Structure 1
Amino acid sequence: MKPTFYLLLLVGLLCTNISYAQTTHAFTEGLVVGPCHQYGREAIYKDQLTYQLIHKTFAVPAEGKTFLTDAQGKELKWQRVVADTAKRFRHAALSNGYLYLTYTAPKEMMALLQVAGHAGLYFNGVPRGGDANQYGYMYSPVKLKKGVNEILVRVGMGGRFQGVMANLIFPAKNILISTPDITLPHIVLTENAEPVWGGIVLFNLTEKPLTDLRLRAVIQGKEIITDVPAVTALNSRKVGFKMDLSAVQQKGEVACELTLLQNGKAIDQKTIPLQAVSSNEHYSNTFISAIDGSVQYFGVAPQKGGQKDTAALFLSVHGAGVEAIGQARAYKSKDWGTLVAPTNRRPRGFNWEDWGRIDALEVLEVAKKKFNPNPQKIYLTGHSMGGHGSWYLGATYPGKWAGVAPCAGYPTLMGYGSADGKIPENSTDKVEQMLLRASNPSNVMALASNYKASGIYILHGDADRTVSVEYARTMRNTLGAFHNDFSYYEYPNGSHWYGDHSVDWPALFDFFQWHRSKKVEEIDVIDFTTANPGISSNYHWAGIEQQEIPLNYSRVQAKRTLNDKSITVTTDNVRTFMVLPGAFPKGQSFKLKIDEVEVCSDCKLGDQPLYFTKNGKWATAEKPTIAQRGSHRNGTFKAAFNHRMVFVYGTAGTKEENEWAYNKARYDAETWYYRGNGAVDMIPDREFTPAGYADRGVILFGNATTNSAWTTLLSNSPIQIQRGSIKVGEEQLTGDNLGAYFTYPRPDSPFASVAVVSGSGLAGMLATESNQYFTGGSGFPDYFIFGTDMLKEGTKGVKLAGFFDNNWQVTKSDAVKAQ
């Protein structure tokens, strides 16, 4: 899924250059063992090596030494492996296995550890981020101890084929600007009056946090200085900086002199190149993301002949491994609209789910403000993984799109999956069934009735070996059962990519051109399904504010009759139903019947929705309070990461507990940076104040004993964790080997939540280190409590998992445990 026309982000390690004086040690010999772990798009994972590390039974590897005896009685032994001429380790045991490397240091030393082709690693027992896609820019600042340093590299299913490379880099400086992974806009000559944002990585190879940092950018004599957030000890961070482009008058390469200042003193400098283009060329724009405050970008194929108000806007979502600017360049400029291509946060990112979904919506809103399109002429398309993104976003947000056109796409991560594996389609295990509920928003097949809101154009090559044409045929058959406005075309002998017309297909844009979204007053019949009102809650004038069973599918079918001024509604799994402004003119009376019950004979809409709640029977109600579940905040553990999250690590525990909290927070920050081109504020618990981080999601590492922010944020939570025990409602679990993820509303915010990464003791805390919650589409419910034995036995090790009710309380009816 990497068409040759795209500008790929994949950077070969041999050509990656941090560009400062350095020496490098390339690892060429090691030991391998596997398969011994299993990760996917679920909260459950197995990892025999991590289990041994937690329980301190891990023995120093040696060639021929037995690592473990598996369930079939087969001994897994460590085997010697030698890197090939490209300095890559390749071995059959690397598929879901581990690579063991050592380095003997003559003294304590600082270094950058660079590994590629791996899902994560342990450096002297401490977790560090992975580079599964071999981008080549994942560097972890580490402190080598004198003597033998051990590295355990976790490798996924494809490890035996793509190989693993590993280097230790010893730079001349301990505080650095790094340029391999930089986010930059183009300089558009007609739009260079205002400062723009760039993003660049800083390294801190010291044992103290870097504060009082600033970046000075100078372009053709124009200087601008940007304050930079702190970079914690032995860590990296991607930071934003402003650039003044106003002096640039000609096309071509433009140099930016970038200097890192600390307390006014220059400590590193780099020259970075930008490209100046004219307004009729394809270009990139940057913006600040509300997800985490980081700098993101999108590609633009500008409207031919210049921007025209009320023209069309096309949102094109890219395939796996593809850069957004490459996606935009696949399209010739159209004379009737502008095309924008969001990034999904990275070329692989989140499969257009989770934060990739939010990125697409952010770019849509930025583009609407910038290009002022006709609101009835907004269209969605995409290729490969972006074809999935088109199916997913099209089903999730009915009413946004006049037309949806998936190209070479697969509908769900259940059927196709891609690099991180598939979401299981079903399970007979009650625990796994509960966990899979959290993935229900990914299942567009269950949301298929929402496609009735848009015209659909399906394009697929009939010889596609990457994403089979059978996916397109399945969707054709699905739509054929109920949809009266879709077109389908199989490109003869078309492979996965058969040229730019794989996406820039004239008939597709002709289809778009004769489609318009209906205005709210034109819609008399609504059929809307959602699995999570916190993601998608309404289609024009009808909405679902609360569910009866969280994360099960909820559906409303509504019919408006203008002649007798009435609305008739049937519901499934709806607790609170909304009628939104636009259903009838403001102040006009109408009748409402829900599930055969007349609820209101003299309803009148103002500027706010009307709410109706089922308490045994339907009745008029006030809007649910912000303290309840609803469209503003509907749970699942991952949702807490949506609102400028801040990582708060505990410092009130033992030395080992405090080290775990910092190391785990740093590991998650590295993972978020890698997967989401993101940046996170990391602070100790003693520095957290609600006012200082208002309305931000809080990710709390530790428990009530070890993290002093717990009382401020979670004193009313029905889940309480302290050293030695976890209490979930009325149920008490004891021991030091329990790990936990859960979420709870932040009490002082109308929308932000707290996500807790915790354990009842050091063993339980260590069991949370490996996770899949940054994997696109992976399902995590509101709470998930497990023992370290999950790492060996899977679902059998789950102690409790479930969803809170609409008042954020634990109920036995919505909780499961392993039998």
Structure 2
Amino acid sequence: MKNLFLCLLSLFPALNLVKAEDIPPIPRRIPPQGIEIPDEDRNRIQSRLSEATESAERIRNHPDVAVFRKAVRFALLNGEFYDKKHFALADKLLDEADRRTAFLTEGETPWTSAKQLVVRGFRSKIDDSVQPYGLEVPEKLQLNRPVPLYVWLHGRGDKNTDLHFIGQRMSRSGKFVIEDGIVLHPFGRQCMGYKSAGETDVMEAIEAVQKEYRIDKQRIALMGFSMGGAGAWHLGARYADKWAVVHAGAGFAETARYNRLAKENYPPWYEQRLWNLYDVPGYARNLFNFPVIAYSGEIDKQKQAADVMTEAFADHDRELNHVIGPKMGHKYDENSKKKVLAFIRKAFEYGRETNPQEVHLQTQTLRHNRIRWIYATGLIEHWKDSRVDAAYESEAGAIEATTKNISSLLLMHPDPSCCGARGGFFLEIDGTSIQVPPNLFSVPLLRKPDGTW
């Protein structure tokens, strides 16, 4: 073994190793480099940040305080001031941090019950960083009862870093006037298309709001426009358990067609396969579990996203609700906004079903493997179209299910308060009949080599 190690070691000089200094630096694109910071402004801001370290650790690390100072610190460190007026914005954020610090010192948190525009924060499980989110809380909204939550995903903003996102959320309302619920504006780690850490940020922000406010879990709407529309397609299809209704405005829904890639210019097959981690058409059946409405401006290039999803729905004999703004470019017209909001409020009349009689799961990875009472626990081949479609007949106490590319799954009883506890239920899956005994609320299923279960 020692001789083998020495032999391999002797080969290293012959290898064409790339040194770190030979790798050119990655050009900075997002966010772009800001303007030069005058010494007077830099010194003032830095002094205020330094003074803040004198407060108690539990107070200065409170997410509702720390998000403001982190935003300013990052802007100073990374050069994220793009106009002279942004130095005053930094002071505004530091003023709010100081104000909240003073309240916390006295054991008070008045912003937690504030109405209108509110900025808050949470600590992310990804990297223990504090992340901001904005809220719109209508003045007349009663917070002593569960209320609907409208999750609004913002569009692309190359300069919309923590500092500027918080500045907007302190001063600017969203595109839709909402009076019957709370509007949540996740940061999404700025400009990541709500993928990777941006995806997690949205879900963590929702969780944070649910801990702080009485949210009706059966009435959560996911909405967005432009990059936010892309996020609504992506998260809507992959977290279908969460939503009562989804609205996607403009945006993009897949990789190849949106980027106008000719097939001869496609990347290697394995990269194409991994497009399916984020492309939406291959997850379209998940969107059949709740109402969905798309919006496009008639002359907007990003109408392409809804057109792609219209085709994806049609492939499954479904029709996508698609509102088109006459002669509109990359924005809403007022009449279309009214139609979208009416659609969402109609969905809220029913809310997300507690015990749905019919569920649809479509995935290509076990990362997204659940829809209500169905868990896919094994795939015959990963990164291939995989499906479970199941319907429950409560009066007969029977479930009928069909699958594709599924090797194992966990089936929970659709209505544990009813038939499962009394007399079991009858399951027919891909032509295999199984009598599930009483008091069994979860059923692990394995596919045999012959295809039966």
Bin the TM-score by the shorter chain: 0.7 to 0.9
Candidates 450, 460, 466, aligned match of 2:286: 450
TM-score (normalised: structure 2): 0.72
Report the AA paired with residue 65 of structure 2. Answer: V
1:297 corresponds to which residue? 132
Tell me if the contact between 2:359 and 2:389 (Cα under 8 Å) persists in the aligned partners.
Answer: yes
Change (3 A) 1:312 1:427: farther
| 1:568 is aligned to 2:400 | yes
Tell me if the contact between 2:392 and 2:414 (Cα under 8 Å) persists in the aligned partners.
Answer: no
Deviations along 1:665-697, whole A, 9 cap, x unmatched? xxxxxxxxxxxxxxxxxxxxxxxxxxxxxxxxx
The offset of 1:134, in angstroms, is: 4.3
Change (3 A) 1:248 1:306: farther
2:425 corresponds to which residue? 590
In the alignment, the residues of structure 1 paired with residue 282 and residue 96 of structure 2 have an alpha-carbon distance, to the nearest angstrom, of 55
In the alignment, the residues of structure 2 paired with residue 600 and residue 444 of structure 1 have an alpha-carbon distance, to the nearest angstrom, of 36
In the alignment, the residues of structure 2 paired with residue 489 and residue 341 of structure 1 have an alpha-carbon distance, to the nearest angstrom, of 23
Q: Mapping of 1:379-398 within 5 angstroms?
A: 379-398=221-240
Tell me if the contact between 1:529 and 1:554 (Cα under 8 Å) persists in the aligned partners.
Answer: yes
Q: Mapping of 1:346-361 within 5 angstroms?
A: 346=190, 348=191, 350-361=192-203
1:336 corresponds to which residue? 180
1:133 corresponds to which residue? 30
Candidates 463, 468, 489, aligned match of 2:323: 489
Change (3 A) 1:494 1:178: farther
The offset of 1:561, in angstroms, is: 2.0
Q: How many equivalent residue pairs?
A: 386
Deviations along 1:488-513, whole A, 9 cap, x unmatched? 221122121357x599x222111111
1:246 corresponds to which residue? 104
| 1:369 is aligned to 2:369 | no
In the alignment, the residues of structure 2 paired with residue 221 and residue 356 of structure 1 have an alpha-carbon distance, to the nearest angstrom, of 25
Tell me if the contact between 1:318 and 1:324 (Cα under 8 Å) persists in the aligned partners.
Answer: no
The secondary structure found in structure 2 opposite 1:133 is coil
Tell me if the contact between 2:258 and 2:304 (Cα under 8 Å) persists in the aligned partners.
Answer: no
Change (3 A) 1:221 1:450: closer
The offset of 1:583, in angstroms, is: 4.4
Judging by fraction of residues, say which structure has more strand: 1
Candidates 401, 407, 410, aligned match of 2:243: 401
| 1:611 is aligned to 2:447 | no
Change (3 A) 1:345 1:281: same
In the alignment, the residues of structure 2 paired with residue 221 and residue 436 of structure 1 have an alpha-carbon distance, to the nearest angstrom, of 46
Report the AA paired with residue 310 of structure 2. Answer: R
In the alignment, the residues of structure 1 paired with residue 154 and residue 95 of structure 2 have an alpha-carbon distance, to the nearest angstrom, of 32
Candidates 371, 386, 401, aligned match of 1:539: 371
Report the AA paired with residue 147 of structure 2. Answer: A
1:700 corresponds to which residue? none
Stretches of structure 2 that go unaligned for 5 or more consecutive residues are 1-15, 50-61, 78-93
The secondary structure found in structure 1 opposite 2:119 is strand
The offset of 1:385, in angstroms, is: 0.9
The offset of 1:293, in angstroms, is: 0.8
1:206 corresponds to which residue? none
In the alignment, the residues of structure 1 paired with residue 103 and residue 187 of structure 2 have an alpha-carbon distance, to the nearest angstrom, of 23
The offset of 1:487, in angstroms, is: 3.1
Change (3 A) 1:460 1:289: same
In the alignment, the residues of structure 2 paired with residue 479 and residue 492 of structure 1 have an alpha-carbon distance, to the nearest angstrom, of 23
2:11 corresponds to which residue? none
Deviations along 1:707-761, whole A, 9 cap, x unmatched? xxxxxxxxxxxxxxxxxxxxxxxxxxxxxxxxxxxxxxxxxxxxxxxxxxxxxxx
Change (3 A) 1:555 1:427: farther
The secondary structure found in structure 1 opposite 2:380 is coil
The secondary structure found in structure 1 opposite 2:446 is strand
Report the AA paired with residue 551 of structure 1. Answer: W
Report the AA paired with residue 271 of structure 2. Answer: L
2:345 corresponds to which residue? 513
Report the AA paired with residue 314 of structure 1. Answer: Y
The offset of 1:410, in angstroms, is: 2.0
1:270 corresponds to which residue? none
TM-score (normalised: structure 1): 0.42
2:88 corresponds to which residue? none
| 1:440 is aligned to 2:276 | yes
Task: Identify the structure with bigger relative contact order (alpha carbons < 8 Å, sequence gap 6+).
Answer: 1
Report the AA paired with residue 562 of structure 1. Answer: S
Tell me if the contact between 2:295 and 2:322 (Cα under 8 Å) persists in the aligned partners.
Answer: yes
Change (3 A) 1:579 1:195: same
The secondary structure found in structure 2 opposite 1:438 is helix
Change (3 A) 1:473 1:439: closer
* Higher Rg of the two aligned structures: 1
Change (3 A) 1:427 1:605: farther
1:140 corresponds to which residue? none
In the alignment, the residues of structure 1 paired with residue 389 and residue 264 of structure 2 have an alpha-carbon distance, to the nearest angstrom, of 29
In the alignment, the residues of structure 2 paired with residue 134 and residue 300 of structure 1 have an alpha-carbon distance, to the nearest angstrom, of 24
The offset of 1:553, in angstroms, is: 2.3
Tell me if the contact between 2:255 and 2:275 (Cα under 8 Å) persists in the aligned partners.
Answer: no
Stretches of structure 1 that go unaligned for 5 or more consecutive residues are 1-52, 57-121, 138-164, 181-192, 204-217, 224-241, 250-275, 621-819
| 1:472 is aligned to 2:306 | yes
Tell me if the contact between 1:525 and 1:560 (Cα under 8 Å) persists in the aligned partners.
Answer: yes
Q: Mapping of 1:696-707 within 5 angstroms?
A: none
Tell me if the contact between 2:252 and 2:304 (Cα under 8 Å) persists in the aligned partners.
Answer: no
Identity among equivalent positions (%) equals 20
The offset of 1:361, in angstroms, is: 0.9
Tell me if the contact between 1:301 and 1:332 (Cα under 8 Å) persists in the aligned partners.
Answer: no
In the alignment, the residues of structure 1 paired with residue 431 and residue 252 of structure 2 have an alpha-carbon distance, to the nearest angstrom, of 39
Deviations along 1:14-33, whole A, 9 cap, x unmatched? xxxxxxxxxxxxxxxxxxxx
Tell me if the contact between 1:324 and 1:342 (Cα under 8 Å) persists in the aligned partners.
Answer: no
The offset of 1:530, in angstroms, is: 1.0
2:257 corresponds to which residue? 415
In the alignment, the residues of structure 2 paired with residue 613 and residue 416 of structure 1 have an alpha-carbon distance, to the nearest angstrom, of 39
Candidates 261, 285, 296, aligned match of 2:120: 285
In the alignment, the residues of structure 2 paired with residue 132 and residue 456 of structure 1 have an alpha-carbon distance, to the nearest angstrom, of 34
2:66 corresponds to which residue? 197
1:314 corresponds to which residue? 150
Deviations along 1:310-346, whole A, 9 cap, x unmatched? 2210011111115655477224652210110111201
Tell me if the contact between 2:325 and 2:332 (Cα under 8 Å) persists in the aligned partners.
Answer: no
The secondary structure found in structure 2 opposite 1:441 is coil
In the alignment, the residues of structure 1 paired with residue 247 and residue 98 of structure 2 have an alpha-carbon distance, to the nearest angstrom, of 44
The offset of 1:415, in angstroms, is: 2.6
The offset of 1:378, in angstroms, is: 0.5
The secondary structure found in structure 2 opposite 1:506 is helix
Change (3 A) 1:340 1:601: closer
The secondary structure found in structure 2 opposite 1:197 is helix
Deviations along 1:523-549, whole A, 9 cap, x unmatched? 222221012222x21111112112121
RMSD: 4.2
The secondary structure found in structure 2 opposite 1:389 is helix
Tell me if the contact between 2:428 and 2:434 (Cα under 8 Å) persists in the aligned partners.
Answer: yes
Q: Mapping of 1:608-687 within 5 angstroms?
A: 609-617=442-450
The secondary structure found in structure 2 opposite 1:282 is strand
In the alignment, the residues of structure 1 paired with residue 408 and residue 262 of structure 2 have an alpha-carbon distance, to the nearest angstrom, of 29
In the alignment, the residues of structure 2 paired with residue 520 and residue 278 of structure 1 have an alpha-carbon distance, to the nearest angstrom, of 29
Tell me if the contact between 1:590 and 1:604 (Cα under 8 Å) persists in the aligned partners.
Answer: no
The secondary structure found in structure 1 opposite 2:383 is coil
In the alignment, the residues of structure 1 paired with residue 120 and residue 398 of structure 2 have an alpha-carbon distance, to the nearest angstrom, of 47
In the alignment, the residues of structure 2 paired with residue 291 and residue 310 of structure 1 have an alpha-carbon distance, to the nearest angstrom, of 29
Deviations along 1:106-147, whole A, 9 cap, x unmatched? xxxxxxxxxxxxxxxx8x54765642124326xxxxxxxxxx
The offset of 1:390, in angstroms, is: 0.8
